[in-house]
Structure 1
């Protein structure tokens, strides 16, 4: 089963597209951005912070290193 939260490959200009169930939430340039997108998707802030910091299996990092947002 695919993870519902996907952090896509870093773009050449920096940042990573974030999707939830194929719906684009935005372009994350940092962990703070990712947490904010998860919060806007309905996940409370503490849980979102724990998910990002704890490498939750609900977050799929595609291409590049996890937690890396700089240009590829």
Structure 2
């Protein structure tokens, strides 16, 4: 009976160990996926910041042009 109990206990420990290993692997996979997504979001954010910077430069240029045109118009009048 003790031998049978020991075998059952050992089998249960193996099953628990295997399940734990699978859970660790699953968590590692999820973590890896999240890290990849995080990097993608960071890169996307950088791209958006570049676009914003470019639009701000364009706005500044437009304001300068508008001011210059206004001065020229005033001088012509």
Query: Is TM > 0.5 for Structure 1 vs Structure 2?
Result: no
Higher helix share: 2
TM-score scaled by structure 2?
0.16
Tell me the TM-score normalised to structure 1 length. Answer: 0.16
Of Structure 1 and Structure 2, the greater strand share is in 1
